[in-house]
Amino acid sequence: MAILIGKDTRVLVQGITGRDGSFHTKLMLEYGTKVVAGVTPGKGGQEVHGVPVFNTVQEAVDETGADTSVIFVPARFAADAIMEAADAGIKLIVTITEGIPIHDMSRVVKFVAEKGARLIGPNCPGLITPEEAKVGILPGQIFKRGPIGVISRSGTLTYEIVSHLTAAGLGQSTAIGIGGDPIIGTKFIDLLQMFEEDPETEGVALIGEIGGTDEQEAAEFIKNHMSKPVVAFIAGRTAPPEKRMGHAGAIISGSSGTAAEKIRVFEESGVPVAEIPEDVARLLKEALGK
């Protein structure tokens, strides 16, 4: 495997009997992911696409050895679902749910860290190690195994840029959508460190957007700690201040959150910034000498 997930990952789906949970369970199974259990309280004993359903995460973990959970639970129940997974010993929790209140996430992130688990999301498309496993809603057909790590705050931009990478002959080691909410679990820096240490990854595509300062912190990390080339793309160059653009975290509230500021910091850190999505592949090929 590259990072976080691979062919031996054992996945549990929280909210498996709902519309989205059932639909994406089927697609994950078709991709080859080992989906070993589902959880919906009160629905234990059923099956969804041949996957056994349990009433609690603890029961599912005890019976199936699941080590990763993907959450399709409605927003008002999602915080409890994340904490239930962490409390049951799940080590990787991927939260697709959007609209989780910020005050819920502030306590969830602390709880997950105390339990020694890793949270991806919320409000994210999940992650994929091409040709091994996908956990979430990413369209598996556009991904191809290769040397480029992908980290993104944006779902649909991830798909566009990955399609350009694949077309240019640059497959992906692992691609992760970290989510666009103000409070998320795993950040750019966490994954940059993993890709730096991953022998299968030769370069990284980083897809950011307006709002917050995570991109600036990533630029500083890249300058001081990354030996592998990183190419960035920042969405929202024309976004007006104080207006939310898509994600809950994509709002400019001060100069630090603008696309111009993020681009400036990346370029000063020696990170090329693509003007349009398709340029990411070209810049990575140049950086890698391919």
User: Are 156 and 29 in a shared domain?
Assistant: no
Q: Which amino acid is at 246?
A: G
User: Are 239 and 204 in a shared domain?
Assistant: yes
pLDDT at 253 over 90: no
What is residue 92's three-state secondary structure? strand
Whether cis (ω within 30° of 0) applies to the bond prior to 122 is yes
Determine the pLDDT at residue 259: 85
User: Are 266 and 180 in a shared domain?
Assistant: yes
User: Are 58 and 105 in a shared domain?
Assistant: yes
Tell me, what DSSP letter sits at residue 213? S
Determine the pLDDT at residue 211: 80
Find the mean pLDDT for residues 25-50.
98
Look at the pTM and tell me if it is higher than 0.85: yes
Cα(180)–Cα(98) distance, integer angstroms: 9
Residue 49 annotated among the catalytic residues of the structure? no
Structural domain including 268 reads: 139-288
* 254, part of any domain: yes
Task: Write the CATH number for 187.
Answer: 3.40.50.261
User: Are 153 and 89 in a shared domain?
Assistant: no
Determine the pLDDT at residue 88: 98
Task: Write the pLDDT tens digit of every residue in 88-110.
Answer: 999 999 999 999 999 999 999 99
Determine the pLDDT at residue 118: 98
**Percentage of the chain lying above the pLDDT 70 cut:** 92
pLDDT at 229 over 60: yes
Q: Which of 49, 103, 225, 247 is catalytic?
A: 247
Domain count along the chain: 2
Task: Identify which of 126, 13, 137 has the alpha carbon closest to the alpha carbon of residue 69.
Answer: 13
Determine the pLDDT at residue 241: 55
* 125, part of any domain: no
* 1, part of any domain: no
User: Are 94 and 159 in a shared domain?
Assistant: no
Cα(243)–Cα(176) distance, integer angstroms: 26
Contacts 24+ apart (CB under 8 A), 236-239: 236/209, 236/210, 236/211, 237/263, 239/210
